[in-house]
Amino acid sequence: MPGESRPPETLKQVFARLIRAAGPISVAHFMAESNARYYAARDPLGTAGDFITAPEVSQMFGEMIGLWLADIWIRAGRPTPVAYVEAGPGRGTLAQDALRAAARQGLVPDVHFVETSPTLRAAQCARFPQATWHDDFSTLPQDRPLMVVGNEFLDALPVRQLVRMADGWRERMIGWDAAKDRLLPVAGDRPMDAAVPAERAAAREGTIIETCPAAAAVTGDVALRLAAQGGVALWIDYGHAQPRDGSTLQAVRAHAKVDPFADPGEADLTALVDFAALVPAVASAGARCDGVVTQGEFLRCLGIEARAAGLARHAPGQAAVLARALHRLVHPDEMGNLFKAMAFSAVHWPKGAAF
Ligand code: SAH
């Protein structure tokens, strides 16, 4: 009808059209496009959104990271200028809390954000009008040490999955089930045996192996910069320290797990970060791996309990809220064990506390 505009095509419709025309797409393609659409147009954080992250739980999280950075910077001899780089900074909350705490120790870096979402860039700009934004790590300054932080960034990067079939390994793809009008995982038709490490080649039928080439590429790129320019990187994410089999792809919407294939672009897709798999990329770039610890260990070692007690003394009315936030961040049944912190640095830089 004249004047009547058609509703914009959903990502599910786009994928269906693409798959009908050209065949199934890889899980990595599916995840990359879904998250690009998901983050582009919304701020998913907070109680009214889809999920809550550690910096949104309490200011104490960012403060501990700021103190961690300042301690390293002081022991490195207070190099100036120095850049604070945050990957996927969300609302800028972590940066705000970390840089406030760091400034009290004399660390006042210039601020660089690697962020692709226009909506979240706008939120970050409200807090950091002087920051510099980057689409990826390639445009970061080359003339100064980098102090890089990423919380719940690596888990949003696309994973590739391989599945063991009766006759060998195939890439796990997303196909279109026309009868049921839905996307569903299928095995690709090309043999992928060469992509599977020898020790896992004989796994039983149905086994899924997940890798995240994008996370290895990002950490490798950052490690190259640290080796050349000095600095440290800290990545905190939902993940495991040792590799394991199986798909860890999950979707969260309105604080509940949903089917990752049902409404692409409408739910946050994540996969567990396999920290051990990032070590070779860091080592071959010439940086030093400082290790992986649980979020609980990391925050406790930096003194989060003392900080919570101090805040409660100043605001006794907030004591219960602070105690709940502390519990959520460090307790093994909450975020304390599931989330891990991984650090790597330039070889001539000191190792961060807790590692
Ligand atoms: N670190 C924040 C937000 C985590 S959500 C916090 O802890 O609250 C993931 C963040 O990564 C968002 O800011 C999202 O827009 C960003 N992001 C996701 N994929 C990205 C990519 N490929 N490149 C840059 N930023 C990305």
Which H helix or E strand runs over 119? helix 118-127
Tell me the C-alpha distance between 241 and 289, whole Å: 13
Ligand 1, atom 21, lies closest to the CA of: 116
Tell me the C-alpha distance between 61 and 185, whole Å: 37
Confidence (pLDDT) at 4: 63
Confidence (pLDDT) at 5: 74
Residue 3 has pLDDT above 60, yes or no: no
C-alpha of residue 147 to centroid of ligand 1, in Å: 17
Tell me the C-alpha distance between 295 and 310, whole Å: 21
Q: What are the tens digits of pLDDT across the range 341-350?
A: 999 999 999 9
pTM: 0.96
Percentage, residues of the chain above pLDDT 70: 99
Q: What is the best residue among 50, 91, 115, 125 to mutate for testing ligand 1's pocket, by most ligand atoms within 8 Å of CB?
A: 115
- On average, the pLDDT of the chain sits at 96
Cα separations (Å) of 77 from 215, 230, 334? 30, 12, 37
C-alpha of residue 37 to centroid of ligand 1, in Å: 12
Q: Which residues line ligand 1 (CB under 6 A)?
A: 35, 39, 45, 53, 55-56, 88-90, 94, 114-117, 120, 151-153, 156
C-alpha of residue 153 to centroid of ligand 1, in Å: 5
Q: What are the tens digits of pLDDT across the range 197-246?
A: 888 888 999 999 999 999 999 999 999 999 999 999 999 999 988 878 89
Q: Which atom of ligand 1 is nearest to the CA of 39?
A: 15
Q: Which atom of ligand 1 is nearest to the CA of 88?
A: 11
C-alpha of residue 114 to centroid of ligand 1, in Å: 8
